[in-house]
Structure 1
Amino acid sequence: MTNSLRPHGSQRTPLPQEAVPALPTPRDQEAGQQTTAPPAPSAPTGQKPKQRDAFFDNAKYLAIVLVAMGHAWEPLTDTSRTAEALYMTVYTFHMPAFIMISGYFSRSFDMRPDRLRRLITGVAVPYLVFEIAYTLFKRWADDDPTYDFSLLDPWYLTWFLIALFVWRLTTPIWKLVRWPIPLSLAIATLASVSPDIGDDLDLQRVLQFLPFFVIGLSMKPEHFQLMRRRSVRMASVPVFACALLFAYWAAPRMNSAWFYHRDSVQELAAPPWTGPVMTLALFGCSVVLVSCFLAWVPRRHMWFTALGAGTLYGYLLHGFLAKGSRFWGWYDNEWLHKPLGEIAVTIAAGTVITALCTPPVQRAFRFVMEPKMAWAFRKDPAEQARGRTTTGA
């Protein structure tokens, strides 16, 4: 990822290589922490390899815990105003945070063959596998054998993978244009009032979440350092408090579907003028809350830091339990809708997602999440030439 969040003088941390998902696998992040220059032929004896950046691993783990909790709170929102307020607050910033981090680690992406291979094996292949797995799961668990399989209509969590694939491919364009953030925000605004976009590839979400990816592309290490200033941390406390109070007020008055960014205003039965207003308002709120969230992410190594390497695993695997809990009627128990039940659901969600990010789970599912698939690709002529040069030397 990045070698340091503490730039010295006028020196700036080199651009990282791409880490394919915003929830990077260990192999992807290790690649992302290296610079584009090859390693020195003879490194000093005993030199330690580059370490993962604890700050980003911590941020990914804490954000994925909030994702799981948000999914666990959703069935409680009909009967609990507090759960609805927490749900709306978390949904304002947890996916924007992931998407910004993804964009940040896409800054060095180009169409080089090795990076395209990593994009295919780290995003496209997991999308195909989990789209099939989720479809089969829904047919079985929801007793819906006629549910259609479609690669063009992502189901549940797989939308993020297809969105990431599209965003990554457009990275060279955003690096080329002069005002990438305003342009991406204009595209998101237009998408919000364009019902004809349809559901293919979940393009509404792809376009409406696009500005957060572009912001990540435009960020530098010093921007994260600014977020971690003491003044920002102190200001974030009342900001979060105000956000929760506003969400509590808005819970019975506002449609939470606005936070999904998957529908146009026409599909939400809202006047057309609300599209630009809500797009800009939610964008501003999300950026502020993401900054407040990152301001409190620990920089040092924590007990959960190592779990940050497994957030893609937790993200995709917990979807089976999240949907299964609805299909199997787990929330039909009335005690779950009481305060103690809501607390129990929250703790259970955090525990389950933590377990799904652990190294044993990563090892068990690495063949799906990080397939090498050398058999599927032609050998890169440049790599072959380098290999012949090395052998000849």
Structure 2
Amino acid sequence: MMGCFAISKDITQKKSRDPFFDNAKFILVLLVVFGHLSSMFRTQNEFLNVMLNFLAAFRMPALILIAGYFSKSFYKKGFINKVIKKTLFPYVLFEIIYSYYNYVLYDYDTFQLSLFMPTMGMWFLLSMFCWNLMLFIFTKIPYSLVFAFLFGIGIGYVDSAESYFSISRTFVFFPFFLIGYYMKPAYFHWVKQSYGKIVSITLFIFCLAIFLVLDPSTMRMYLLGKYSFDTIGHSALYGSFFRMMIYVVMLCGIISFLPWVPKKQMFFTPLGLRTSYVFILHFFFIKFIKTLDWYATGSVWHIIIIPLLTIIITFGLSSRPVLFLTRSAIECKFETMNVRKPYDSVNKAA
């Protein structure tokens, strides 16, 4: 299972699963869609700006941590081939597709394709490939988490790492992948207890206080993990301190989110197995919606439409017809798909 991109077992699941992780992945990818849809309105409302920053503080880090948690079999035979199929293949394919989509949608004069500069969220696929390979190195060195955080801070000194090959984001977010890899099932036990929510509320207040005090635009640039300290306008020393603080905020954000994830199977639990479809395909809708007049000239009141669109897009892209039509492209699988519901065998066993 490739973490939140563990899609090869999503149709013919035979082993019992912990619904907690599937619930978490589905909620997180739903929040990703919501964040992308509402990003335009962030500057029109201070509270919305702060809340979107808070969501960004744990949304991708939590997904990445879960992906690392399910990457413990990286040493097994066939792992590299599996990673290539799950990450590099769809990355190249959808970079081409989205480049052409941009060319048509935005009426560009020329068709532009650059596999070296990921389009929108495609950086995640490229970084996922790198994170899995980096396990071969970091799991063999002492104090690997310390080095991972140091690299995540140090990459902020390199201006050229902002876009090319998603280098900056790869190093900035890798510590969460490595933390997930080192985590054991028992580590998640406390978040499932009632006192976990008390800790969650405390950390939420702490994070909210930080977001209310600091400049939202600066926070956003750090949360994206894409920009160098120089681009943000900070010195190397101040930027290092700020990124360390952001790491603390991200970890607190993850801890404040997890206790609220449902522990039992929900109506959306099986859809947590299909988050890669939502993540990769929702950019078609994001790009199109942003060209519409009501969106381009909208006020903050249009935000009431965003939750509805978020639900429609997320559930729609999690549907079995979409899986049937796009599985070959996203999973690099070309055999006939068994469309049995993924939790059928679990329910029957129960």
TM-score clears 0.5: yes
2:4 equivalent to 1:22: yes
Which of residues 139, 160, 182 in structure 1 aligns to 2:146? Answer: 182
CA distance in 1, matches of 2:115, 2:218: 32
- In our comparison, the structure showing a higher alpha carbon Rg is 1
Are the aligned partners of 1:88 and 1:247 in contact in 2 as well (CA < 8 Å)? yes
When residues 344 and 199 of structure 1 are mapped into structure 2, their CA distance, relative to the original with a 3 A threshold, is: closer
Q: CA RMSD, aligned part only?
A: 2.1
Q: How far did 1:260 drift?
A: 0.4
Are the aligned partners of 1:80 and 1:337 in contact in 2 as well (CA < 8 Å)? yes
Which of residues 83, 86, 89 in structure 1 aligns to 2:48? Answer: 83
Q: Which amino acid aligns with 2:35?
A: G
CA distance in 1, matches of 2:228, 2:193: 38
Deviations 1:104-131 (A, max 9, x none): 1111212622x22211211111111111
Could you state the TM-score of these two structures normalised by the residue count of structure 2? 0.89
2:228 equivalent to 1:264: yes
- Per the alignment, residue 343 of structure 2 pairs with none
CA distance in 1, matches of 2:21, 2:61: 14
What's the secondary structure of 1:266's corresponding residue? helix
4+ aligned runs moved over 6 Å, structure 1: 28-31
When residues 214 and 24 of structure 1 are mapped into structure 2, their CA distance, relative to the original with a 3 A threshold, is: same
Equivalent positions of 1:25-64 (< 5 A) are 25-27=7-9, 49-64=14-29
- Per the alignment, residue 88 of structure 2 pairs with 124
Kindly indicate whether structure 1 or structure 2 has the higher relative contact order, using CA contacts under 8 Å at least 6 residues apart: 2
Unaligned runs of 5+ in 1: 1-18, 32-48, 375-393
CA distance in 1, matches of 2:74, 2:89: 19
- Per the alignment, residue 337 of structure 1 pairs with 300
Unaligned runs of 5+ in 2: 336-350
Are the aligned partners of 1:26 and 1:310 in contact in 2 as well (CA < 8 Å)? no
2:103 equivalent to 1:139: yes
Equivalent positions of 1:215-364 (< 5 A) are 215-250=179-214, 254-334=218-298, 336-338=299-301, 341-364=302-325
What's the secondary structure of 1:170's corresponding residue? helix
Aligned length: 335
- Per the alignment, residue 67 of structure 1 pairs with 32
Q: How far did 1:229 drift?
A: 2.7
Equivalent positions of 1:143-222 (< 5 A) are 143-197=107-161, 199-222=163-186
Q: How far did 1:349 drift?
A: 1.5
Q: Which amino acid aligns with 2:300?
A: H
Are the aligned partners of 1:110 and 1:171 in contact in 2 as well (CA < 8 Å)? no
When residues 253 and 128 of structure 1 are mapped into structure 2, their CA distance, relative to the original with a 3 A threshold, is: closer
Deviations 1:74-103 (A, max 9, x none): 100121112201110000010000110111
Q: How far did 1:50 drift?
A: 1.2
- Per the alignment, residue 378 of structure 1 pairs with none
Deviations 1:297-336 (A, max 9, x none): 11110011011011100011111111222234442343x4
Are the aligned partners of 2:162 and 2:226 in contact in 1 as well (CA < 8 Å)? no
Are the aligned partners of 2:50 and 2:216 in contact in 1 as well (CA < 8 Å)? no
CA distance in 2, matches of 1:198, 1:227: 35
Deviations 1:248-297 (A, max 9, x none): 44355735211100011011122222221122111111111111211111
Aligned residues: percent identity? 26
